[in-house]
């Protein structure tokens, strides 16, 4: 058994669910040299897969820092930075930052879920647990393939199980087809009469098969809508299947991973740790984002932003009033550094970088902030687009209203603080659904609803074209001043998995570059 399993099981002790958990860990680790399959409680390995997927495999926010915030958060212009190593702000290239999510998740969370599936597949007592794992695996790979394109899928995680250490890269087209089939098959096979054998080890739904069924069909909507450009007929087919199967009906169905403030462990929210602890002074909210919220009188602004006298002080919660919020433009160097990109030359410069907003410290800039994997709000907004396209029956305006309302309400009920129902209803009344601007309107709201799930926002922007971003033209950028379209593969793959890497790269129009497009982004 690999050292990865030792790490996963030991880290799970921090979230021991009962006294028996601790007893199991002691028994498992009595022999420091060998752990057999019979000694492993695969429930805890599933816990590990869920937790590590949230973006903090090392306890210090490694991949959340690099992929979710520095790259996706800045590229999608939720965030901005004048710090040189926040390379996503200016479309600069950093190989290790590009590959961070791949580097951390293939040997950890993906290896975990593949091992769990391998070992519980034939265990009839774990029937629903097996289906749940299939559904979560589909979610995991949707994110991975959306970030990189073709990637190891059918042979991923089989190093220990089958000795496959140089996995082939499956075509994204094939991965997507299998994700949709897996979601449908697993959802249909979930049986409410079967025993719940995972319970609280499932950090999202405690093993509730009905909740997982709704998650599966809602995830199916997301996967299907990602195909809207490349295969609209396929997208329509699968959205219809999802709606018939039954998607999330309320915010209580949201897939939320709740974190605890246990520093130095994966239990801490990785993005929250970076924003509040590891790098609180390196970023600000983007002017694109803050201006959008302000110009639309969005009641979420004071719950997403704050202005701190000194962002370097975690105890400084700042001023959250809407009137104080100001976004920092992307593509600038530190103030008074000289040159054309000096922040002091920006049109909204007020004399101090601390006058720009940072992420609100009551909601998302917290070590124990929740991670939203998939929500009712996001699902309803995608259904609004599907209804507008004529792919499903129903009024797109009603789906739009339900999506915005759920997205606003989840802040107060699940993220710590948010608009009141009165404020939400008033905003919707003054900002009704406009069929003439449906695509823009729906996907701009998806951009707001997905705040802090930056990798997903990056994916949805690529397939929808909204929000309308202001590209950055900065010296040394690797995209010709256009917003990047994907993450690049780990450089180590070129030397260690050469044949499969070269084959995948040959299928990319411009090679392994940030300007190349994944299959569905054509």
pLDDT, tens only, 60-72 = 999 999 999 999 9
Phi and psi at residue 466, to the nearest 5°: -125, 145
H-run or E-run covering 98: helix 95-98
pLDDT tens per residue, range 449-467 = 999 999 999 999 999 999 9
SS3 per-residue string spanning 237-276: HHHHHHHHHCCCCCHHHCEEECCCCCCCCCCCCHHHHHHH
Alpha helices, H only, 99-208: 100-105, 111-120, 127-148, 159-162, 172-189
Number of C-alpha atoms within 13 angstroms, CB side, residue 212? Answer: 33
Confidence band of 497 (pLDDT split at 50, 70, 90): very high
Q: What is the pLDDT of residue 19?
A: 32
Phi and psi at residue 305, to the nearest 5°: -135, 155
pTM: 0.93
Distance CA(295)–CA(10), nearest Å, equals: 49
Mean pLDDT within 265-270: 95
Cβ contacts of 411 within 8 Å, gap of 6 or more: 300, 303, 304, 363, 417, 418, 419
pLDDT tens per residue, range 318-352 = 999 999 999 999 999 999 999 999 999 999 999 99
Distance CA(303)–CA(301), nearest Å, equals: 5
With vertex at residue 453, the alpha carbon angle to CA 449 and CA 458, rounded to the nearest 5 degrees, is: 90
Burial of 125 (0-12, 13-18, 19+ CB in 10 A): exposed
- In sequence order, what are the beta bridge partners of 285? 79
Cβ contacts of 30 within 8 Å, gap of 6 or more: none
């Amino acid at each position: 058994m690999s050292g990865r399993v030792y790490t996963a099981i030991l880290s799970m002790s921090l979230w021991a669910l009962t006294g028996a958990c601790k007893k199991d860990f002691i028994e498992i680790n009595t022999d420091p040299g060998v752990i057999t399959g019979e000694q492993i409680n695969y429930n805890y390995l599933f816990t590990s897969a869920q937790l590590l997927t949230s973006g903090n495999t090392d306890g210090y926010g490694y991949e959340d820092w690099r992929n979710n915030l520095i790259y996706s958060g800045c590229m999608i212009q939720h965030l901005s930075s004048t710090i040189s190593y926040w390379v996503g702000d200016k479309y600069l290239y950093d190989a290790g930052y590009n590959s961070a999510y791949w580097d951390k998740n293939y040997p950890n969370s993906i290896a975990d879920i593949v091992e769990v599936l391998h070992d519980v597949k034939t265990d009839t007592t774990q029937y629903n647990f097996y289906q749940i794992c299939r559904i979560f695996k589909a979610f995991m790979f949707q994110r991975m393939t959306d970030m990189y394109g073709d990637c190891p899928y059918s042979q991923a995680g089989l190093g220990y199980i089958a000795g496959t250490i140089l996995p082939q890269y499956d075509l994204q087209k094939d991965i997507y087809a299998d994700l949709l089939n897996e979601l449908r098959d697993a959802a249909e096979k979930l049986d409410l009469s079967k025993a719940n054998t995972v319970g609280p080890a499932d950090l999202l739904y405690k093993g509730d098969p009905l909740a997982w069924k709704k998650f599966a069909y809602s995830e199916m909507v997301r996967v299907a809508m990602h195909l809207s450009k490349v295969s609209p007929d396929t997208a329509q087919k699968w959205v219809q299947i999802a709606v018939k199967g039954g998607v999330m009906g309320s915010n209580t169905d949201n897939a939320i991973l709740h974190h605890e403030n246990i520093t130095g462990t994966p239990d801490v929210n990785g993005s929250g740790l970076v924003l509040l602890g590891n790098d609180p002074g390196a970023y600000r909210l983007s002017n694109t984002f803050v201006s959008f919220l302000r110009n639309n009188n969005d009641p979420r602004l004071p719950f997403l932003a704050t202005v701190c006298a000194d962002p370097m002080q975690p105890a400084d919660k700042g001023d959250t009033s809407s009137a104080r919020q100001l976004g920092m433009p992307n593509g600038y160097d530190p103030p008074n550094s000289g040159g054309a990109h000096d922040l002091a030359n920006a049109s909204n410069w007020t004399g101090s970088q601390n006058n720009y907003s940072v992420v609100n410290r009551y909601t998302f800039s917290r070590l124990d902030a929740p991670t939203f994997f998939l929500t009712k709000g996001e699902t309803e907004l995608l259904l609004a687009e599907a209804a507008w396209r004529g792919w499903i029956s129903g009024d797109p305006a009603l789906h739009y209203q339900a999506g915005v309302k759920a997205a606003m309400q989840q802040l107060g009920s699940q993220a710590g603080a948010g608009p009141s129902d009165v404020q939400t209803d008033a905003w919707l009344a003054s900002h009704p659904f406009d069929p003439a601007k449906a695509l823009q309107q729906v996907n701009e709201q998806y951009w707001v609803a997905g705040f802090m799930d930056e990798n997903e926002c990056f994916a949805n922007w690529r397939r929808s074209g909204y929000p309308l971003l202001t590209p950055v033209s900065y010296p040394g950028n690797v995209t010709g001043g256009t917003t990047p379209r994907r993450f690049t593969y780990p450089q180590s793959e070129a030397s260690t998995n050469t044949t499969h890497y070269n084959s995948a790269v040959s299928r990319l129009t411009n090679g392994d570059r940030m300007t190349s497009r994944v299959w569905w982004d054509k």
